[in-house]
Amino acid sequence: DLDFSAAYDTGIGEWDKVATMWLYRQYPDGTDEDAAGDALLESARAGGLRFIDDPQGRGVGTAHPHASVWDNGADPVAALTEVMQVRQVALDRFGADVLRTGQPSSGLRAVIVPIYLYHRYQVNAAAKMIGGYDFHYAETGEADLAGTAVPAARQKAALDALVATLDPAALDLPDDTLNLLTPPMVSFRGANAGAEYFPGETGAMFDLLAAADTAASMTLSAVLHPQRVARLIETRRRDTSALGYDDVLQALEGAVFRTVSSPRQAGILHREQVRYVSTLIDLSGNGQATPEVVMQTNAYLAGLEGRLSKRQRRMPDSDAAVRMELARRIGAHLDRPSPAAPPSSSAIDIPPGSPIGAGSAEACWHCDTDWLSR
């Protein structure tokens, strides 16, 4: 069951209280206000209140395990498991009665989007544990200046929770629900104007495979973000016991290329398999990916091509057809000519040296000719 009694907080948040006290608190005469303010912030941090700036929170590929937006709970991994349970309860109850009386039934197509993708923000939060790097904005003199990689066990737990979001059973919808998702009138400009709809290629019929593809893409693009993969490779270079890129690929491959007895779920897995291979091909061709990411991704794809080319005994024809096509796509990717470019790695920008603190040497020399004469 779902309990909405505490869905919304009352009053201002705990961080708002700390910020207000830090900014406006009136101290007795003689108080060292800098020291008192530092003590307040340190107490807040010890109590679990962390400040990490907006770019770290909003970027999907960023590293900080506690910097996310719209996520829930103190533990991103446990919260993802709970969010998936909430999502399932909502989907199980989904039907005509979720609309107010008199509303067009086609509104269900708009309502299904935020429910089906209810876990989207928690996926991003949990993914930041993988290749995660914990740090805070320290000052000299503090005891814990150094950042630290998220422990391997925590990264593995996050990976397991994210892999579970790819379960075809979690992405399927019953026929009774699918047949309620009828399209709206194109000319209707009512309550659902501006609503979000899943894309699809099945016309009036709701395209479940497109919806499942969307959900799988959220997870795969978060886990296989170029910056995240680069951190996995670098962390493994420093510590051979750390979770590595190969561990992530092994877990994802095992999830999307497993065998299921239900043809209904097999169709969802086939779409996930296409998305998985496509995500890796895009990753290897990403201009922002490091040379290590590109090389290891292409090496993995070469091995995957060989595994997909070997038909297993008693494999259904539909499975074999998808694997054959994916092997062909991987081969075409690996065999295609590289775009014309110098056969060297991109140059690394060297930080400007002399004069320190100026935007450029040119600006410094021309800004004050009297200085040069002196």
Residue 23, pLDDT score: 94
Kindly tell me if the per-residue pLDDT of 61 is higher than 90.
yes
Show Cβ contacts of residue 348 under 8 Å, excluding neighbours closer than 6 positions: none
Please write the tens of the pLDDT for every residue from 124-180.
999 999 999 998 888 787 777 889 999 999 999 999 999 999 999 999 999 999 999
Mean pLDDT (whole number) for 98-113:
88
Over 70: is that where the pLDDT of 264 sits?
yes
Return the pLDDT at 194: 58
* Residue 118 CB coordination number (10 Å): 16
User: Poorest-confidence range of 50-64, 135-149, 274-288, 359-373?
Assistant: 359-373
In the block, tokens 């509303």 appear at 103
pLDDT at 185 (0 to 100): 80
- Quick count: other Cβ atoms within 10 Å of Cβ 55? 9
The DSSP secondary-structure symbol of 338 reads P
Position 191 scores a pLDDT of: 46
pLDDT at position 211: 94
Give the confidence band of 337 by pLDDT, cuts at 50, 70, 90: confident
Mean pLDDT, rounded, for 347-358: 55
Mean pLDDT calculated for residue range 229-234: 97
Contact 277, 304 (CB under 8 A): yes
Which stretch, 60-64, 339-343, 352-356, has highest mean pLDDT? 60-64
Strand partners of residue 97: none
- 343 residue type, one letter: P
Binned at pLDDT 50, 70 and 90, residue 104 comes out as confident
What integer best gives the mean pLDDT of the chain?
88
Percentage of the chain with pLDDT > 90? 60
Q: How far apart are CA 335 and CA 355, in angstroms?
A: 48
Ranges 65-79, 213-227, 305-319, 329-343: which has the least confidence: 329-343
User: What is the reported pTM?
Assistant: 0.85
Q: What confidence tier does 340 reach under pLDDT thresholds 50, 70, 90? A: low
Q: Checking DSSP bridges between strand 133-134 and strand 148-149, what pairing results, if any?
A: antiparallel
Measure the CA–CA gap between 125 and 162, rounded to whole angstroms.
10
Helix, strand, coil percent values for the chain (each to nearest 5) = 55, 0, 45
- Please name the residue ranges forming H helices in 136-204: 152-164, 168-171, 175-178
152-164 vs 208-223: helix axis angle to the nearest 10?
A: 170
Least confident piece of the model among 19-23, 231-235, 257-261, 297-301: 257-261
The encoded tokens of residue 249 equal 């690929």
Confidence of residue 16 (pLDDT cuts 50, 70, 90): very high
Please check the confidence at residue 324 and state whether its pLDDT lies above 80: yes
**DSSP summary character for residue 144:** -
Tokens 């209707």 -> residue: 188
Distances (CA, A) of 110 to 20, 51, 178, 271: 40, 35, 13, 23
